Amino acid sequence: MFISQPFGRLPDGRETRLHLLQNKSGARAEITDFGGILVRLLVPDRTGQLDDIVLGFASVEPYVDRSPFFGATIGRFGNRIGGAQFTVDGRTYPLAANNTPAGQPCNLHGGPLGFDKVLWNATPFKEPGVAGLRLTHLSRDGEQGFPGNLAVTVEYRLTDANELRIDYSATTDQATPVNLTNHSYFNLRGEGRGTILDHQLKLHAARFTPVAASLIPTGELAPVAGTPFDFTAPQTIGSRIAAKHPQLEYGNGYDHNYVVDPVAGQKLVPAAEVYEPETGRVLEMFTEEPGFQLYSGNWLDGSLIGKRGQPYPQRSGFCLEAQHFPDSPNQPQFPNTILRPGERYATATVYRFSTR
């Protein structure tokens, strides 16, 4: 089922809309054309009770200038590019700098006017067992400093199996970095219902990319074994988050890229599983990306009020952002993120919901 309704106006007067996807069991995803943002995601608990499990706002206005990327489609480049610049084919491109960890400038999530601030073209579609929404955008040459005209398509699919699948694709007319992701903050107890510290997390990742104080990767792929970053066996998110460890101190908690364990012969592989014992909800993430960012809502501080009318305190949501590694354009040993004319960027991530 598909429904569309007004979601408020932007400062320049343009109208935004909220598009509702619903499956046969009543699970629902609500996506706005502003920023390609996942505004609500309602899935059942172990008793069948539906609740909204993503953080966000009740109208478009706060998303314009107050949102820490709640639910947003991120681009052109998810995560950080160090020094807010990169070089490709011998030419250096300065980028919009919108983040300065430890006083070091970087381009974060595509810049201050990234894809999360774009009014996308939205078209609903249906497939067997699927309610879908297709979003398209042409990112012009020079936007936020990035070269090339980049034609982007993002497709949300809500399946009757309680999966939310996101497919990303793009083409370009100049060599440019591309690294698209979704920045949803999850709380499987329900948005506005406390912290995520007791959520049990398992990661299919034996390595991560340590960062400097600037939160830019050092270039190392380090083993998680013996560190607070080891979630290869289930641990609560809060069990070691306050440990005295330089990496946790740099990020004020978890804000790190993990390296997905590859599976021979498979593109879409398991990356993470989260279980919330009170409701029984389980989230599994599968991705074609080589990594994902675990972010534990470190900079939420209670000043933002969510859809339920409740404030969002520190660690009231967690993010699992499937991605290429941060700063990849400046680190040639990392998997390639440069898209060239004649090539097609294509990747998929699936969030599967169940109970136990």
Q: Of 163, 289, 321, 324, which one is the catalytic site residue?
A: 321
- In sequence order, the β-bridge partners of residue 173 are none
Report yes or no: 199 and 276 within 8 Å, Cβ to Cβ: yes
Decide if 204 is catalytic: no
Q: Is the dihedral of CA 208, 213, 216, 219 positive or negative?
A: negative
Decide if 245 is catalytic: no
Three-class SS state of 181: strand
Q: Of 19, 109, 137, 183, which one is the catalytic site residue?
A: 183
- In sequence order, the β-bridge partners of residue 88 are 91
- The H or E element spanning position 102 is none
Three-class SS state of 1: coil
The token pair at 40 is 């609500």
Residue 271 φ/ψ, nearest 5 degrees: -120, -35
CA separation, residue 126 to residues 34, 50, 130, 153 (Å):
21, 23, 6, 16
Write out the catalytic residue numbers. Answer: 183, 321
